[in-house]
Amino acid sequence: MYESDLHTPTRKYTCSNFDYIKSKQVEDRAIIGNDDRIILQDYQYTLSPYRSVCMIITTFNEEPNTGHLGTGFLVGPHTILTACHVLYDVSEDHNYGWFDNINIRFGTYVDGNNVQIYPYGEITTFSSASCGSYRDTQNTNDDWALLELTTDIGNNLGFFGVTSSLSDDDSVWAIGYSGDLGGNMGYSYGEADDVETYQFEFDCDMTGGCSGGAVIKTSNNLVCGIVSSESWFWFFGFHYTNHACKVSQYIVAWIEERQFNYS
């Protein structure tokens, strides 16, 4: 990690009004076969572990009325783990860099009256954001970022543990704010495949907006990956695979250091 990888605020960040919200993503995450996502019921958003997952909406000064949707989750009292591309723009048609404004909403959902509910309020300030080499590589291997908050909200909501232990065919489940669910959270079960040191594939159903969401081992409910991107190939039809940045020992060390150094 380099000093230039740190993003620190120079003012209070807020972005309350948008013309529209779109998914901030490299590619749309894929529905693989039937859509097997389970959409949370309203009461579940205040239960563990769902309340530790947050909707992240970022804006850039170049597009002040466009909110970009992503997902993050607590891995410490004040630390959010997410995908780097949720916070840092390296799109082909523009390169805005770090976000300019942010809204973080834990456990938020849309009720039966189509009103978005924020059971834990809205966070618009942060201490710092840091990432690996994704800005240069745009590679799933590097698609992770840590966002440090100025509040210990994780002590109230709880936070996920992480693990770098993962093998092919391990059962996993993934959770995130899919853009097509209208502001609600969904999760899906599947398996890990082609596990490498810094990335793996998985077949849970995810769509745009889930970027930065947690991929969790079902055997111990520890986070093993961060939802990143999807790929496809044609063979008498489209075949899709979802990709995750694997939680490596390097990421584990960074999370632990953040907790130790925080004051």
Which pLDDT score, from 0 to 100, does residue 90 have?
Answer: 85
Over the range 161-183, which residues count as b (16 or more CB within 10 Å of their CB) and which as e?
A: ebbbebeeebebbbbbbbbebeb
Residue 70, pLDDT score = 94
Predicted local distance difference test score (pLDDT) of residue 230: 58
The tokens describing 169, both together, are 């065919």
94: left (phi over 0), alpha (psi -120 to 50) or beta: beta
Q: Is 53 helix (H, G, I), strand (E, B) or coil?
A: strand
Q: At CA 157, angle to CA 243 and CA 14, rounded to 5?
A: 75
Cα 234 from Cα 245, distance rounded (Å): 24
**Cα–Cα distance for residue pair 40/184, rounded to 1 Å:** 7
Distances (CA, A) of 164 to 109, 200, 203, 253: 31, 12, 19, 11
pLDDT score for 181: 86
The model's pLDDT over 248-263, given as tens digits with 9 standing for 90+, comes to 999 999 898 877 554 4
- Number of Cβ within 10 Å of residue 45's Cβ equals 20
pLDDT reported for residue 13:
41
Q: Which residues of the chain have pLDDT under 70?
A: 1-6, 8-32, 230-240, 260-263
Q: Which residues lie below 8 Å from residue 38, measured CB to CB, with a gap of 6+?
A: 186, 187, 188
